[in-house]
Structure 1
Amino acid sequence: MRLTSGPAHSLVQLDTIPLGDWRALCDRALEPNGYYLPDWEAAVNASARGRTDTSALCVWNDGPPARLIGLMPVTSLRRAYKVPLPALVSGHPYGTLCTPLVDRDLAEPAVTQLLQAARQAGARALLLRDVALEGAVMQAISSALAREGLKPRVLQSYSRACLDATGDGDDMLRDALGPKKLKELRRQRHRLAEHGPVSFDIARTPRQVALALEAFLELEASGWKGRRGTALIQHEGDAAFIRRAAPALAANSQCEVVTLRSGDTAVASGVVLRHQSRAFFFKLGVDERYAKYSPGVQLTIALTRHLCADPAIASADSTAAPDHPMINPIWRGRLVIGDVLLPLRARDPLVELIHAALAARRGALDVARRGVHILRGLRTR
């Protein structure tokens, strides 16, 4: 797929976008996305496995002064899924949200020109992965397509936990968990305190975040993610990405590392991104030696109180899998996320072929997953 450029929109390499313009767009974004913040995405693009050398659809207004009003990291369908058809796919950062950045004051021209930039790059369709289906950006995209007689096609969707942080944290926890569960968790916390005083620490400055991050990485690798080989620290490029991204974001008050300790021992730790009024719970690591005290739940309860007490935060996205057994009972709000195919031409047979190829791929993956579950079940008998 060829690279094109013009005065209003272009497809460019991600690392060529001026960071000042990107940050300014984030400040004006119609919908927050912590995983498309420039310091995060630049670090992902520099070293994270399978996520480097990403391109981006960029849209500029006419000015003066000219300013960036739309940005969508993308890759080719061939690279994303090994499907050799002319489509672009939203670039997948570390984190499960790919909602594009769109200027809230110029949303209509921004999304219209993003679609046009994809056409000029030779794409016949755009695949948005992990986009907020009920968000303002998706509504603007649907309206832009409707004006051209086109409709988005939702390929799959699910709901994941989110937090309404505008109320009192203790009230929210009582409503979500009930007095009996909270009493049990208090009992577990008291038992944990027998190993040392329990504290909840928040690392905010770049230096604090860099130090706390190392404890998080060790905790993550000590558990099931380490046994599966998916912990960040187990891969040089992934470790380099998070060690670069977290302190850089902390310099702009966009990243915290939260840690639950028993005495001097970190028993649970999590990385939290912040964009506008929304927090994003990126990852959690726990010391499984303390599993009977529910360290992950204890950390999430403390984090809930922390976010609800922060007037700058209105909501938090768990960025967790659907039906997540730990966070779903605590954060009772739900965010609808999905993959959406955007046709770029009316009655285009290539769009039908792209749609069919994606459906076939998903069907094959579902069969493979069922096979893995069956094999795991047989091994545990």
Structure 2
Amino acid sequence: MPNLAASLIAPDETPPQRSRAVASGLAGLSIESRPLAACAAIEAEWRDLAARAIEPNPFFEPDFALSAAQHLIDFRGTTVLLLWDGAATSRRLLGFVPARLQRRLLGHDVLIGWSNSRLGLAAPLIDTEQAERIIAALLHAPGRWGLASTQNLQLHRLDLDGPLLDGMLRVAELTGHAAALEPAPTPTASTGGPKLAALRHGLSRHGKLAFAESRSRQELRDMVELHLALEASGSLGRAGGAALQDIRESAFLRAMTRNLARSHRCRVGLLSLDDAPVASAILIGKGPRLWLYRGVEDDRFASFAPLAQLVAWLGRRSRQREIIGELPGPHLVTVPQRLGDIRLTVTATAIRRAPLVIRRRAAAA
């Protein structure tokens, strides 16, 4: 059952002066803790928030996240903090933050944003116009609902060039929190080696080449099955790590791609040689930014870089399309995303400054 927290301040509490100031600055906000799978009940509000999030993240939208919660064990224990504004009858969802609470015997607890290797991005969904207010709420949330001593916040796999990180750094400066940023190393591709055009010419000597991209949901379903079969036939399948060999993983992949395709947020590309697939790529996202979620190529033709050829072709299909991902080899056909972790830590300055700053922002709103 969801943990329905009525407000930031429990009605039978008499908060100290600092807590009263923080609560007044965050007036109207309520925070609810709910299992990820139970968020299906607020799918409409969730989708509405995703459409106006300061940083779009398809991995935390219903089509991906609910499929993961249904099929993958890793996602079943995920807890989401939902930040609502307004009365219960007309409330509006302003924040969707998958996170867990790390309790400490001494000092303040730490609220840690949830991440997973399947996520190309782990930025929570936060309303564009209320971003700093929501971040402040996560840092200063008095009450009995589980975060009474939480003034430390840590988020993983954020876009280092994205607006959410900028907002967090502004809140840290205004509230006096210490901000520690740990950028992940930017992957670098090797240089040299044959050009893709020369490799494509070499591959064409083995048969007729054909590129294709899913144009309908039926085509996407068929291409996903070809992707699974190609992956299972190669070295990953021989090692027992192919999705088709894991009933949960394959069920998730089928459900996730099918659900995302309804809103045109998933597409599959295939490179075939004499009608037999030699490379497949699953892309997630919509508009100019897409993530290469999964890619596979036929080991027998790996020297011709068929996957890189396919991704390069998919990128050329639209001049506005930017494909984010990591591919081995010398061919720069994807855009590496600069990801990192940030931690906001409470300081003596933060304790003195937070009430004033948050109260000032509330008055400005």
Which TM-score bucket, shorter chain as reference? 0.7 to 0.9
Distance (Å, rounded) in 2 between the aligned partners of 1:228 and 1:44: 24
CA contact (8 A) 2:53 2:125 kept: yes
Matched, 1:326 2:348: no
The 1:177–1:262 alpha-carbon spacing in structure 2 relative to 1, beyond 3 Å, is farther
Relative to structure 1, the CA distance from residue 107 to residue 303 in structure 2 (aligned partners, 3 Å threshold; closer, same or farther) is same
Residue in structure 2 matching 1:97, options 104, 115, 121: 121
Say whether residues 1:216 and 2:252 are aligned partners: no
Partners of 1:177 and 1:329 within 8 A in 2: no
Residue 10 of structure 2 corresponds to none
Counterpart position of 1:132: 159
Deviation of residue 245 (structure 1)? 0.6
Equivalent-residue separation in structure 1 for 2:290 and 2:247 (angstroms) = 27
- Runs of at least 5 residues in structure 1 that lack an aligned partner in the other structure: 79-84, 163-175, 349-381
Tell me the equivalent position of 2:62. 38
Which amino acid is the alignment partner of residue 96 of structure 2? Answer: L
* Pairing 1:299-378 to 2, within 5 Å after superposition: 299-308=310-319, 311=320, 313=321, 315-318=322-325, 320=326, 325-326=328-329, 329-331=332-334, 333-343=335-345, 345-346=346-347
Question: What secondary structure, in the 3-state scheme, does the structure 1 residue paired with 2:32 have?
Answer: strand
Distance in 2 between residues matched to 1:284 and 1:327, nearest whole Å: 16
State how far apart, in whole Å, the 2-side matches of 1:29 and 1:316 are.
21
1:205 paired residue number? 216
Aligned residues: 315
* Distance change in 2, residues 1:231/1:128 (3 Å): farther
Choose which of 29, 36, 39 in structure 2 pairs with 1:14.
36
Pair 1:236 & 2:239 matched: no
The answer to whether structure 1 residue 51 and structure 2 residue 58 are counterparts is no
Residue type of the alignment partner of 1:90: G
User: Mean alpha-carbon deviation: is it higher for 62-71 or for 96-105?
Assistant: 62-71
Structure 2 residue ranges without an equivalent (≥5): 8-29, 350-365
Once the 2 structures are TM-superposed, how far is the Cα of residue 334 of structure 1 from its aligned partner? Answer: 4.5
1:128 counterpart SS class: strand
Q: Shift of the alpha carbon at 1:177?
A: 8.5
> Aligned match of 1:284 in 295, 307, 314?
295
How far has the Cα of 1:160 moved from its partner?
4.6
User: 1:107-186 alignment to 2 at 5 Å?
Assistant: 107-116=131-140, 121-122=146-147, 123=150, 125-160=152-187, 181-182=194-195, 185-186=196-197
Mark the CA change 1:76 to 1:276 in structure 2 (over 3 Å): closer, same or farther.
farther
Residue 301 of structure 2 aligns to a residue in which SS? helix
Paired residues of 1:3 and 1:121 also in contact (CA < 8 A):
no
1:24 aligns with 2:24: no
Distance in 1 between residues matched to 2:261 and 2:330, nearest whole Å: 25
User: Which residue of 2 is the match for residue 298 of structure 1?
Assistant: 309
- Bigger proportion of residues as helix: 1
CA contact (8 A) 2:160 2:183 kept: no
CA contact (8 A) 1:128 1:341 kept: yes
CA distance in 2, matches of 1:118, 1:193: 65
Matches of 1:98 and 1:227, distance apart in 2: 31
One-letter code aligned to 1:260: L
Corresponding residue number in structure 1 for 2:256: 245
> What is the aligned-residue identity percentage?
25
Please give the per-residue CA displacement for 1:87-131, whole angstroms capped at 9, x wherever unaligned.
Answer: 343222422310111122222223222434598533453331211
Task: Compute the displacement of 1:253 (Å).
Answer: 0.3
Secondary structure at 2:271 match in 1: strand
Question: CA separation in 2, counterparts of 1:24 and 1:327?
Answer: 41
TM-score by length of 2: 0.76
When residues 208 and 113 of structure 1 are mapped into structure 2, their CA distance, relative to the original with a 3 A threshold, is farther
Q: Quickly say closer, same or farther: Cα 1:9–1:328, change in 2 above 3 A.
A: farther
Q: Secondary structure at the match of 2:112?
A: strand
Comparing 274-283 with 97-106, greater Cα deviation is found at 274-283
> Which structure would you say has the larger Rg?
2
The TM-score with structure 1 as length reference comes to 0.73
Give 1:86 shift.
Answer: 4.4
Secondary structure of the residue that 1:159 maps to in structure 2? coil
Instruction: Quote how far apart the aligned CAs of 1:267 are.
Output: 0.4
| Counterpart Cα distance in 1 of 2:4 and 2:154 | 19
Helix, strand or coil at the partner of 2:251: helix
* Structure-2 residue corresponding to 1:189: 200
What is the identity, as a one-letter code, of the residue corresponding to 1:326? G
Output the CA distance in 2 between the equivalents of 1:113 and 1:276.
Answer: 31
